[in-house]
Structure 1
């Protein structure tokens, strides 16, 4: 059994294979982009949950100390310590440490 292919048929076959390869790679890129978007939203949701739980814990401890007065030092520590953490975090978040210029291909 011999297969006789004309040059036109051979080029058409190679074109179909090339087209399938391009479609497959673009599908893989779209899947990777969708995966990255899903991970980013999951990270945001996880961060939001952790922030809410931590804030609830701080508020709970502060509420306990405020509703049971008697120790002024403990009251100042319970109210001041979260304020210090918050001010440190805000200062770090709002401080510009460098200027980001255009990146070259080899930069990390």
Structure 2
């Protein structure tokens, strides 16, 4: 892998070695899935559900986003959304909303990096 690409992905919070291992060292397949991530609807669904106070829908979107982030080795996003998911599991909307700025910052870094590399 090109070192600049690797560095950009790592800076965005993606554990490239782990991602490659998950895709059996198939770099093309890894990039195929990473570059599809911006199309995933769970982050906007999470924001919308939190804005409308729908804890159940927010939990579903957060839990799904957590799985996607984990599978793509987006370590910081996974960590942030895991914390938020647990807040929602406990029906604590205010705590979940308080976590959104950090989660949104992680998400934005990943989206920016992926758009640069596409």
**TM-score of Structure 1 vs Structure 2, range by shorter chain:** 0.3 to 0.5
TM-score by length of 2: 0.31
Higher Cα radius of gyration: 1
TM-score (norm 1): 0.33
